[in-house]
A = this chain, B = another copy of it.
Amino acid sequence: TPESAERTAVPGVATGLAVTGAGGDVLFVEAAAMESEHGGLELTGQLGDVMKESAQIALSYLRANAERLGVPIEDLTHRRVHVHFPAGAVPKDGPSAGVTLTTALASLLTGRLVRAEIGMTGEVSLTGRVLPIGGVKQKLLAAHRAGLTEVIIPARNGPDLDDLPEDVLAQLTVHQVSDVADVLRIALEPAAGAATKAA
């Protein structure tokens, strides 16, 4: 999928799946960090309250579990994080971008790219549980249309896969997860220096 390849070519961008008025769609979450006297989280993209809370939860989860996840988070007291959902004029809401937000932030903070062929959806709780969301059928059809070959969905949404045509499912690797740490394991490329280190 050319678009997601181009978009995820820098750390801090992850590919999400959403339901809009016109069916399912692929959307991109962008995260950037900058020096600042104080830490903080800046959110743009005409986000509703639930989606803003999802971003707070994603950042808190990473900060509270930084050591275990291998995410270097210490310097967030003097770095400000900005998360944006293009397109900027389209209102967006809901909890289902939780896994995408967590992945984009983990990518930003570790410098590891998000795999371009993968799209994802799922609510995340503060302890990292992946909770079920709606619109699985439309989201996976949109992922397929956009040329993605792997998708991550909440384990509790497994039954929704029955609603998808068999030929679509045959072309998608579907990961069913219940812990967002597994999302990071599946979606993030190895660290740039990893191969070298192993050598």
Chain B min CB distance to A179 (Å): 10
Say whether A30 faces chain B, with CB atoms less than 8 Å apart. yes
CB atoms of B30 and A44 under 8 A apart:
no
Given A42-B56, A44-B56, A60-B42, check contact A86 B35 (CB 8 Å).
no
Chain B min CB distance to A23 (Å): 20
Q: When each residue 69-99 of chain A gets 1 if its CB lies under 8 Å from chain B and 0 otherwise, what string results?
A: 0000010010000111011110000110010
Q: When each residue 21-63 of chain A gets 1 if its CB lies under 8 Å from chain B and 0 otherwise, what string results?
A: 0000000101111111111001011100110011011001101
CB atoms of A31 and B126 under 8 A apart:
yes
Contact of A88 among B38, B54, B84 (CB under 8 A): B54
Chain B residues with CB under 8 Å of A129's CB are 7, 86
Contact of A32 among B7, B39, B60, B82 (CB under 8 A): B60
Chain B residues with CB under 8 Å of A169's CB are none
Chain B min CB distance to A154 (Å): 11
Say whether A125 faces chain B, with CB atoms less than 8 Å apart. yes
Given A38-B37, A87-B95, check contact A126 B30 (CB 8 Å).
yes
Minimum CB distance partner of A46 in chain B:
B50
Minimum CB distance partner of A55 in chain B:
B44
Instruction: Give Cα A94 to B44, complex, Å.
Output: 13
Say whether A127 faces chain B, with CB atoms less than 8 Å apart. yes
4 nearest interchain CB pairs? A34-B63, A84-B126, A88-B95, A32-B64
CB atoms of B131 and A35 under 8 A apart:
no
Give the interface centre of A7, A31, A45, A84 by most chain B CB atoms within 10 Å.
Answer: A84
CB atoms of B77 and A36 under 8 A apart:
yes
Say whether A106 faces chain B, with CB atoms less than 8 Å apart. no
Instruction: Give Cα A7 to B131, complex, Å.
Output: 12
Kindly list 14 other residue pairs between chains A and B, CB separation below 8 angstroms, not including A33-B64, A89-B95: A12-B127, A13-B127, A30-B127, A31-B126, A32-B64, A36-B39, A42-B56, A44-B53, A44-B57, A50-B89, A64-B82, A83-B126, A86-B129, A87-B131
